[in-house]
Amino acid sequence: MIPMYPLRFDPIYQYRLWGGRRLAHLLKAPLPGDEPIGEAWLLSDREDHSSRVAAGPLKGQTLGQLLRQMPEQLLGKPVGHFPRFPLLLKFLDARTLLSVQVHLSDSQTDYLPAGELGKTEAWVVLETGPKSRIYAGLKPGVTVGLMRRAVATGSVADHLAGFKPNPGDAVFLPAGTVHSLCDVVVFEVQENSDVTFRLSDWDRIDAKTGKPRPLQVDAALACLDFSQGAIAAVTPVVEETRPIFRERLFDCKHFALRRLRAGSPFTVGAPSRLRILVCLSGDGQVQYGGIDYPIGTGDTLLLPAAVGKCMCRPNASITMLEISLPEESHP
């Protein structure tokens, strides 16, 4: 068995008709072709798109293989065992509007395909533009009947709560929240699910197919939480200011996420706990076992539970997100 070490993964790019080319400024791997790229999957354990270790003795191993071969070394004992890695991490470039969509919860089994989870997710806004908009939740008084009529008349947006985001905003989207995005680049953390029900797609035609994308109106309305009012950006909780500025953005039953900013050495990771680092700006080295593992803008570095604490040494200053699993979790 090869000992664990800090694991780097390369992004998996995804065509999306609403995407753009702004991820080229964030990630080192060149964008393919000249088509719109809406998503970069940073850490994925999906059969069709599986992240592979990019360097070191485990190079070429998929995230799923590591989970099956060394579950406790990867996740740690308290977390429990999962049939696949429980989170999916992405960068999104929403150049134009995403579809108006709803993700179902883990408990809505009538609508869950076999082997799938629900999808609670969260965003951290990285870049905005002149048309930036986040839709999340409903205006007061919206009912199933009202929304069904809005779908028929093309007026869904009239009933969505929304706001103009700023870089740094963090937005939590529980399963069942109707939502959309426009003209923003965001980081996304979510349950490992690829199930989306579209309520509206703004009457668009997919240039690749020449057809509109299918809607799933009945399923979307069945899974939409009509008690969910307007959702705003969360207020970060400052946990530490020296030697690192550390703030908690989200902490739910599926994941926790903190934002770290530092200009001097600091510790990352935790004993017997998995941590994932996503660098948003700057660069430096994560030191483990006498070896320097470089981390820079756009990089994703997974610290297995067997690795534990490491020292991060910024070259000047660095900003990163640190993602963790709940200490007690179940498949």
pLDDT of residue 268: 97
pLDDT at 208 over 90: no
Instruction: Give the pLDDT of residue 331.
Output: 46
CA-closest candidate to residue 165, choices 143, 136, 142: 136
Q: So where are the chain's domains?
A: 7-223, 237-324
pLDDT for 79 beyond 70: no
Residue 328, pLDDT score: 59
What is the pLDDT averaged over residues 47-73? 95
Tens of pLDDT, residue by residue over 269-284, are 999 999 999 999 999 9
pLDDT in tens, 216-268: 999 999 999 999 999 999 999 999 999 899 999 999 999 999 999 999 999 99
User: How far lies 234's CA from each of 48, 93, 138, 265, 315, in Å?
Assistant: 33, 21, 17, 28, 30
Q: How confident is the model at residue 330 (pLDDT cuts 50, 70, 90)?
A: very low
Report CA dihedral (311, 315, 319, 320) to the nearest 10 degrees: -40
The highest-level CATH class for domain 7-223 is: mainly beta
Give the CATH superfamily of 237-324.
Jelly Rolls (2.60.120.10)
Give the per-residue pLDDT at 78: 64
Q: How far apart are CA 62 and CA 60, in angstroms?
A: 6
Q: CA neighbours within 13 Å on the CB side: how many for 133?
A: 14
Decide: residue 293, CB within 10 A, 0-12 exposed, 13-18 middle, 19+ buried: buried
Residue 139 has pLDDT above 60, yes or no: yes
122-134: average pLDDT: 98
* Measured distance CA(86)–CA(191) in Å, rounded: 6
pLDDT tens per residue across span 39-49: 999 999 998 89
How far apart are the C-alpha atoms of 256 and 239, rounded to whole Å? Answer: 13
CA distance 128 to 164: 9
pTM: 0.96
Identical fold between 7-223 and 237-324: yes
The answer to whether the CB of 249 falls within 8 A of the CB of 242 is no
